[in-house]
Chain A
Amino acid sequence: MNDMRISERTVDTTKAKIAARKVQVHYGANHALKDVDVDILDKTVTAFIGPSGCGKSTFLRCLNRMNDTIPGCKVTGKITLDAEDIYDPKVDPVQLRAKVGMVFQKPNPFPKSIYDNVAYGPKIHGLTRNKAELDEVVETSLRRAALWGEVKDRLSSPGTGLSGGQQQRLCIARAIATSPEVLLMDEPCSALDPIATAQVEELIDELRSQFSVVIVTHSMQQAARVSQKTAFFHLGYLVEYGETGHIFTNPSDPRTESYISGRIG
Chain B
Amino acid sequence: MTDASIPHTPARVSLIAPDERTRKRNAAERRFRAYGLAAVGVGLLALVVLMASILGNGLSAFRQTYVTIEATLDPAILDPKGQRNPDDLAKVSTIGYGRQIDAAVSAAVARAGIPTDGLTDKQMSGILSKEAPAQLRNKVLADPSLIGQTVPLRMLANGRVDGFFKGRVSLASAELDSNTSPEQLELAGAMRAAGLMEVGFNLGFITWPDASELRPEAAGLGVAMLGSAYMMIIVLVLALPLGVAASIYLQEFAPRNRWTDLIEVNIANLAAVPSIVYGILGLAIFINFAGLPQSAPVVGGLILTLMTLPTIIIATRASLDAVPPSIRDAALGVGASKMQSVFHHVLPLALPGIMTGTIIGMARALGETAPLLLIGMVAFVRDYPAAPPEGFFDPASALPVQVYQWTQRADPAFVERASGAIIVLLVVLMLMNTAAIILRRRFERRW
Contact = CB atoms under 8 A, between A and B. Distances in A.
Interface of A: 64, 66, 69, 71, 94-98, 101-104, 106, 108-111, 120-121, 124-125, 160, 171, 174-175, 177-178
B337 interface: yes
Contact of A98 (B255, B335, B345): B335
A94 B447 contact: no
10 contacts: A66-B332, A96-B335, A97-B333, A98-B335, A108-B324, A108-B330, A109-B330, A120-B344, A124-B335, A178-B334
Query: What are the nearest 5 A-B pairs in CB distance?
Result: A98-B335, A108-B326, A121-B334, A102-B333, A97-B335
Contact of A125 (B255, B256, B335, B445): B335
B446 interface: yes
B336 A94 contact: yes
A97 B349 contact: no
Contacts of B213: none
A110 B333 contact: no
Contacts of B330: 104, 108-110, 171, 174
B333 A64 contact: yes
B288 interface: no
A120 B327 contact: no
A94 B326 CA distance: 17
Given A66-B333, A104-B333, A124-B336, A110 B345 contact: yes
Nearest to A159: B447
B331 interface: yes
Contacts of A125: 335
A86 to B, nearest CB: 13
Contact of A111 (B328, B336, B446): B446
B66 to A, nearest CB: 58
A108 B328 CA distance: 9
Interface residues of B, number: 22
Contact of B447 (A124, A160, A175, A177): A160
A120 B334 CA distance: 8
A103 B329 CA distance: 10
Given A104-B333, A108-B327, A171-B330, 6 more contacts: A103-B333, A108-B329, A109-B330, A111-B447, A121-B334, A175-B333
Given A71-B255, A124-B340, A111 B445 contact: yes
Given A108-B330, A110-B330, A94 B337 contact: yes
A110 B333 CA distance: 12
B349 A111 contact: yes
A92 to B, nearest CB: 9
Nearest to A184: B333
A66 B329 contact: yes
Could you say which of A124, A125, A178 has the most chain B C-beta atoms within 10 Å of its C-beta?
Answer: A124
Given A104-B329, A106-B326, A110-B345, A97 B334 contact: yes
B446 A101 contact: no
Interface string B423-447: 0000000000000000000000111
A228 B225 CA distance: 75
A104 B326 CA distance: 8
A101 B333 contact: yes
A72 B26 CA distance: 50
B446 A160 contact: yes
Nearest to B255: A71
B251 to A, nearest CB: 13
A98 B337 CA distance: 10
B325 to A, nearest CB: 9
A95 B337 CA distance: 9
A171 B327 CA distance: 12
A66 B332 CA distance: 8
A81 to B, nearest CB: 14
A121 B345 CA distance: 13
Contacts of A174: 330, 334
Nearest to A92: B337
A71 B327 CA distance: 18
B244 to A, nearest CB: 20
A101 B333 CA distance: 6
B445 A94 contact: no
Contacts of A66: 329, 332-333
Contact of A121 (B329, B335, B446, B447): B335
Contact of A95 (B329, B331, B332, B335): B335
Nearest to B329: A104
